[in-house]
Structure 1
Amino acid sequence: MKMILEDLYSSKDFKQIGHELIDLFADHIQNTTLGTNPKTIRWNEPDKELSFWEDYLENEKEQDFFEEILNRTTHIHHPKYMGHQVAPTLPITALTAMVSSLLNNGMAVYEMGMSSNAIERIVTEKLCEKIGYGQQSSGFLTSGGTLANLTALLSARKAKVAHDVWNNGHTEPLGIMVCEEAHYCVDRAAKIMGLGEKGIIKVPADENFAMDTNKMEICYQKAKSEGINIFAIVGSAPSTATGAHDNLEKIQEFAQKNNLWFHVDGAHGGAAVFSKKYKGLLKGIEQADSVVIDGHKMLLMPAITTALLFKENSHARHTFSLKADYLMDAPEEDEWFNSGKRTFECTKNMMAMHWYIILKLYGEKVFDEFITRQYDLAKDFATIISNEPYFELATPPMSNILCFRYIGTHLSSNELNILNQAIRRELLEDGEFYLVQTKLNGKHYLRTTLMNPFTSMEHLNLLLEKIKNKAEKLLVKKTN
């Protein structure tokens, strides 16, 4: 009797389903990029969505699974998508993702990841070169900015703390410095490392929501007086909420003066090293001890792939000292081809292919064009908002992230907060546009991240008109 597994591995069935799926995705790309789909998101309450999928699993509905997924997910490729920092992936990278999923070659050891380990080295060397690092630099890819930032701070601790915390633990209070507007993953990393709340030295932000570098010394001396051994300082490029870039040059000078590890969280904006126009925002990054850059944000790749790059190759190699003899029996040297020695991950997908295929087929110019276009678009959008009497900018944009709010007339601060929250909820339920929100200095703002290369000023003007209409109806409803 024929076993069911033989049917499941049928190349004929796979070919048929695969062709149908590619056709479905091709139509999806066309309909979303052209904006012919009326909605960016078809919002559903969490409990209702859960109920749908519970029913779908148990009953014999004929709906196609892949079509249902498309109907019930956010359309990142739609020009009216301007929400989270997620890339509208280049279609070619859907194919490299499929290759990785099918071949399933982990990269921890060279024998299971020959091509992908070699490709990863080429990609990371290219990134080190773009940052401005010398030949002694190195790096690797890992699964996301959170994991990359944690790994970088572990490297910092190993390099700057005198005793071996990794193997022996510690009783001495340790700490890192970071702007209060930095991404929450830095806080998480510090707490995972056992630094605690006191070990996260928050430097206040300035009026533009970047680190106030004039306050670094005060914060440092206060922490030292409390017995905290600070070993690292993190610069944001940029912060997540507003897209504000910290002054990396001043942070580097401070780090050098105090013998601190200088790390740059460039998960979002580090990609600007590819932009001829905007790479100046990252001045000083070439002096960082470590840098994080996400491929799935501003480099048009699928989640989740992040580069962690080190100015000194030795720091990329020596973070983790554990050894699994049955996996790796080569001498303790630069085994770049065994990536499991340098990352948290033992099993890692073949993510290097996304970076490599884009560079191979399109070259660096695609990154330059995309990043420059999106940053320019944010500046143009800011100009329009500044000229609108019923809107207010949080701060001029430094990247493609822009925060603004509807201010109306004769409304208190609390009323404005409630109104802008309600506007955002109305937009979510309407589904034509997708944007998010944030809170800055007690004020609620609408937040756009202009991630889509098909978003135009026409779309952004339509968004402002829609917000005005929503606001007017909400205000009328309130007075009635």
Structure 2
Amino acid sequence: MESLLQKAFSPDLFRQQAHNLVDQLADYLEQAQSGSLEMVIPYKDPEESLAFWQEDYEQGQGDVTEFFSKTIQYSNHLHHPRYMGHQVTPPVPISALAGMLSSMLNNGMAVYEMGLVSNPLERILSELLAKKIGFDKNGGGLLTSGGTLANLTALLAARAAKTDVWEDGTNERLAVMVSEEAHYCIDRAARIMGMGNEGIIKVPTNELLQIRTDLLEQYYQEATDKGLHVIAIIGSACSTSTGSYDDLEAIAAFAQKHELWFHADGAHGGAVVFSDKYKYLVKGINQADSVVIDWHKMLMAPALITAVIFKRNDDAFRTFQQKAQYLWANQHSKDWFNSGKRTFECTKLMMSVKVYAILKAHGEQIFTDNVEYLYDLGKQFATLLKARPNFELALEPESNIVCFRLKSTSGTLNELNANIRKRLLEEGKFYIVQTTLGDKLYLRVSLMNPLTTETDLIALLDEVERLGKVVAS
């Protein structure tokens, strides 16, 4: 008689379940593209959602095909062309198949024996990005789980390059310089590293929400006068709220003058290195000591896959210099094929397989096409907004992130637009978010789906105007 464990590992059962799931996902893609999938986000109150899944759990063992169906039905539908919310891509379907492959094989990466495929692929992808950034043959890096961990890894490398903290510890007050519009994970990374409030030197931004490079000298001197040891400066490429790019060339010159580590946070917008049309936005990025780029944002891979690329690949090995005799024989050699020597993660997922599958199936051009289409669409959306007198554009977009709001002659604009966003969420036919710039609340779109068209953007503006009348009445 077949045991429970034997049944769970049955090839025939897996074949049947996998075929059923692929059929369901293909139907989901077809519905999203044909317009028959009405809801972008089937929003439920958190307690209502918990009660729904609690009831499902209490029913005990059942049909996993039905569970997959419910998961698709009640999730946020990123492949819907009217998904315009957070900066998460609708993954290319081939990368999802690669995800199934890597999950089944379940090979780690800390040591070469467990990452026979993923370690070489990770090196190839890292060298590809290093070349696109403009680094020479000494450039290289690694993949890690998301921009937050990637930025922390880069800043730890900066600390290792500028201090002896790893071996000796320190009572020195370390600090980094960053735009006040930088992603919150930079602030978090600095706090994790023990820098505290004073160690996070937030430089004001200009009217375009780019770091004011004319103030860098002043803020650096003030920090030095307080006894802080500034080790790094971070440039945003681009900022999360508005998609604005800092002047990386000016930051690079400042970093060189004061012998600071220059880190470029290109989690979202660094992908323009694949585009001749938009690469001008990151002019100077080749002078950075480290660069972060998310494959799961503009480069169409499933979350989380982030590249940390160093101008000098040797810097990646300074960050974590520990002995682990059971993992590798030579503790101090710089083995590219033993990824555990330079990353937080030990049993790291085979994330390189998902990206490499995209390259193998579609070629490098798909990254270029995606970036250019979505950035063009951002400019197109701004043009549509400016043609409608009822709307206010926060600033001219440099990327696929656009901030805007509906104007009104009565009530506060912040309250009006917040209520419009709330109604959009509840109705679920569009998904957008909101952000606050200064004291003004704006609606914010991130155009992440290459199947989104001008028709969808016009429909969004029509809906915002309609809801504006509803919530104002």
Letter of the 2:383 counterpart? T
The whole-number CA distance in structure 2 between the counterparts of 1:388 and 1:97 is 43
**CA deviation digits over 1:260-319, x for unaligned, max 9?**
000000000111100121011010000100000001000000001000000001101121
Alignment-derived partner of residue 151 in structure 2: 149
Partner of residue 433 from structure 1, selected from 430, 433, 450: 430
Decide whether the 8 Å contact of 2:324 with 2:331 is kept in 1: no
Worse-superposed segment, 3-12 or 260-269: 3-12
State the shift of 1:416 in Å.
0.9
State the distance in 2 between where 1:55 and 1:172 align. 54
Question: CA separation in 2, counterparts of 1:334 and 1:166?
Answer: 17
2:403 alignment partner in structure 1: 403
Match of 2:124 among 109, 122, 125: 122
Deviation of the 1:364 alpha carbon: 1.4
| More off after superposition, 395-404 vs 28-37 | 28-37
Moved >3 Å (runs of 4+):
60-63
Q: Write the distance in 1 (CA, Å) between the matches of 2:395 and 2:409.
A: 20
Q: Tell me if structure 1 keeps the 8 A contact 2:175–2:199.
A: yes
Alpha-carbon distance in structure 2 between the residues aligned to 1:92 and 1:361: 7
8 Å Cα contact 1:391/1:408 also seen in 2: no
Q: Secondary structure at the match of 2:198?
A: helix
Contact 2:267/2:294, CA 8 A, preserved across alignment: yes
Could you say which residue in structure 2 is the equivalent of 1:90? 92
C-alpha separation in 2, matches of 1:290 and 1:82:
30
Partner of 2:294: 294
Q: Is the 8 A contact 1:137 1:313 kept in 2?
A: yes
- Distance in 2, Cα, partners of 1:341 & 1:33: 44
- 2:282 maps to what in 1? 282
Shift, 1:2, TM fit: 3.9
- Equivalent of residue 138 in structure 1, options 129, 137, 140: 140
- Equivalences for 1:437-456 in 2 at 5 Å? 437-456=434-453
The residue that corresponds to 1:418 in the other structure is 415
Report the counterpart of residue 167 of structure 1 in structure 2.
167
What TM-score do you get using the length of structure 1 for normalisation?
Answer: 0.97
Helix, strand or coil: the match of 1:20? helix
**Secondary structure at the counterpart of residue 293 of structure 1:** strand
* Structure 1 residue 36: Cα displacement: 2.0
Matching residue's letter, 1:76: L
TM-superposed deviation, 1:410: 4.5
Does 1:326 pair with 2:326? yes
Q: Which amino acid is the alignment partner of residue 44 of structure 1?
A: K
Name the SS of the counterpart of 2:175 in structure 1. Answer: strand
Q: In 1, are the aligned partners of 2:161 and 2:318 still within 8 Å (CA)?
A: no
* Matched-pair identity in %: 52
Per-residue CA shift, 1:136-172, capped at 9, x if unaligned?
11101111110010000000011112xx212332211
Asked whether 1:473 is paired with 2:470, we answer yes
Name the residue aligned to 2:13: 13
Which amino acid is the alignment partner of residue 119 of structure 1?
A: L
Corresponding residue number in structure 2 for 1:187: 187
Q: Is the 8 A contact 1:34 1:79 kept in 2?
A: no
Offset at 1:331?
Answer: 5.4
Do residues 356 (structure 1) and 356 (structure 2) align? yes
My pick for the range that moved more, 52-61 or 443-452, is 52-61
The 10-residue stretch of structure 1 (330-339 or 39-48) with the greater mean CA deviation from structure 2? 330-339
> Which residue number in structure 2 is paired with residue 111 of structure 1?
113
Letter in 2 for 1:431: G
Cα displacement (A) at 1:39: 1.1
Aligned letter for 1:83? G
Which segment drifts farther, 258-267 or 26-35?
Answer: 26-35
Please say if residues 86 and 433 of structure 2, whose CA atoms lie closer than 8 Å, have aligned partners that are also in contact: yes
1:334 CA drift (Å) = 2.1
Q: Quick check: 2:301–2:354 contact (8 Å CA) kept in 1? A: yes
Q: Deviations over 1:376-413 (max 9, x none)?
A: 010011011112111111111010000001112244xx
Once the two structures are TM-superposed, the CA of residue 330 in structure 1 deviates from its matched residue by: 2.5
Q: Which runs of 5+ in 2 are unaligned?
A: none
The secondary structure found in structure 2 opposite 1:280 is helix
Calculate the TM-score normalised by the size of structure 2: 0.98
Partner of 1:53: 53
1 CA distance for matches of 2:380 and 2:19? 41
What secondary structure, in the 3-state scheme, does the structure 1 residue paired with 2:435 have? strand
CA distance in 1, matches of 2:407, 2:391: 5
Count of residue pairs the alignment pairs up: 471
- RMSD between aligned alpha carbons? 1.1
User: Which structure 1 segments of 5+ residues have no match?
Assistant: none
- The equivalent residue for 1:74 is 76
Measure the CA separation in 1 of the matches of 2:348 and 2:372.
Answer: 31
Indicate the SS of the match to 1:447.
Answer: strand
Measure the CA separation in 2 of the matches of 1:259 and 1:35: 55
Measure, in 2, the Cα distance between the counterparts of 1:457 and 1:3: 56
Partner of 1:203 in structure 2?
A: 203
Q: Distance in 2 between matches of 1:36 and 1:131?
A: 41
Which deviates more from structure 2 when the two are superposed, residues 51-60 or residues 75-84? 51-60
8 Å contact 1:32–1:77 — kept in the other structure? yes
CA positional deviation for 1:30: 1.1
SS of equivalent to 1:197: coil
Q: What amino acid sits opposite 1:340 in the alignment?
A: G
The reply to whether residue 373 of structure 1 matches residue 370 of structure 2 is no
CA distance in 2, matches of 1:140, 1:157: 18
Tell me the distance in 1 between the aligned counterparts of 2:431 and 2:71: 18
